[in-house]
């Protein structure tokens, strides 16, 4: 049973697991997916790429940002059977650029072969460090809820 106590202006409630088993009847306002104020995920409602998505880490803003944007845009809009097959040149450019900054883009063979940009989990902007940037094979469907870090 829950147990309640009041200390001045502060109320304290202790609840057991059973107390919280029944679903909540608190009402939350429905989300508007097209709310322009909200933080957007990787893909904007109109289909464009949100380069400012925290999930991209610093990929779009670093020294190889231009090459990355070209490559990923090409891939994103590609309608080929094998998605992105016509974008090989762009990806090659990107790779060449990244090789010039090994500190920022750690060179690991299996990662480079992946055509997907890194869904950089260490998105608190520290790709430059040793092991924090790991390419997840997690699809890039971005979290729809808010991302706090850039």
Partner 1 sequence: MLKCRTVWRKLAPLARASSTLCRQNVRRTGLHNARLPAHVPGAHMATGPGGGGRENQLYVLLVGATCLGGAIYAYRTVKGDQQRYDERIAEIASRPHRRTQQATTSVQIETPAAETVETESVPESEPQATPSSEEPSPVVPDAETADSSEAPEPIQAEGLTTEQPSPALPPHAPYLLIGGGTASFAAARSIRARDPGARVLIVTDEPDLPYMRPPLSKELWFSDDPAVTETLRFKQWNGKERSIYFQPPSFYITPEELSTAENGGVAVLTSKKVVHMDVRGNKVKLDDDTEISYDKCLIATGGIPRNLQVIDRAGDEVKQKTTLFRKIDDFRTLDKVSRNIKSITVIGGGFLGSELACALGRRSQDSGLEVIQMFPEKGNMGKVLPEYLSNWTTEKVKTEGVKVIPEALVKSVTCKDDQLEIKLKDGRLIKTDHVVAAVGLEPNVDLAKSAGLEVDSDFGGYRVNAELQARSNIWVAGDAACFYDIRLGRRRVEHHDHAVVSGRLAGENMTGANKPYWHQSMFWSDLGPDVGYEAIGIVDSSLPTVGVFAKATAKDTPKAATEESGTGIRSESETEDVASSPVASSIPAPAETHKDDYGKGVIFYLRDKVVVGIILWNVFNRMPIARKIIKDGEEHGDLNEVAKLFNIHED
Given 44, 47, 66, 91, the residue binding partner 1 (CB under 8 A): 66
Binding of partner 1 at residue 81 (CB under 8 A)? no
Choose one: 24-32, 74-82, 87-95, 109-117; the region binding partner 1 (CB under 8 A).
24-32
Q: Which tokens belong to 49?
A: 């790429």
Binding of partner 1 at residue 82 (CB under 8 A)? no
Choose one: 78-86, 88-96, 110-118, 127-135; the region binding partner 1 (CB under 8 A).
127-135
Please spell the DSSP secondary structure of 11-23, one letter per residue. Answer: EEEE--TTTTTSP
Total Cβ atoms within 10 A of residue 146: 10
Binding of partner 1 at residue 106 (CB under 8 A)? no
> CA separation (Å) from 74 to 83, 88, 106, 113?
9, 9, 23, 17
Q: What are phi and psi of 19, to 5 degrees?
A: -60, -35
Binding of partner 1 at residue 145 (CB under 8 A)? yes
Cα separation, 117 vs 58, whole angstroms: 11
Q: Which residues bind partner 1 (CB under 8 A)?
A: 2-3, 7-17, 19-20, 22-29, 31, 36-39, 51-52, 54-56, 58, 60-63, 65-66, 69, 101, 103-104, 121-132, 138, 142-143, 145-150
């Amino acid at each position: 049973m829950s147990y309640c106590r009041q200390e001045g202006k502060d109320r304290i409630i202790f609840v057991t697991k059973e107390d919280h088993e029944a679903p909540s009847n608190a009402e939350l306002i429905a989300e508007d997916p097209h709310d322009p104020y909200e933080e957007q995920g990787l893909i904007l409602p109109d289909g464009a790429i949100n380069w400012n998505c925290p999930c991209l880490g610093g990929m779009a803003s670093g020294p190889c940002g231009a090459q990355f944007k070209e490559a990923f845009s090409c891939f994103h809009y590609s309608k080929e059977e094998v998605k992105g097959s016509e974008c090989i040149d762009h990806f090659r450019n990107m790779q060449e650029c990244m090789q010039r900054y090994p500190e920022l883009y750690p060179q690991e063979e299996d990662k480079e072969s992946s055509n997907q940009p890194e869904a950089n989990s260490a998105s608190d902007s520290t790709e430059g460090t040793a092991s924090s940037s790991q390419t997840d094979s997690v699809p890039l469907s971005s979290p729809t809820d808010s991302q706090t870090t850039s």
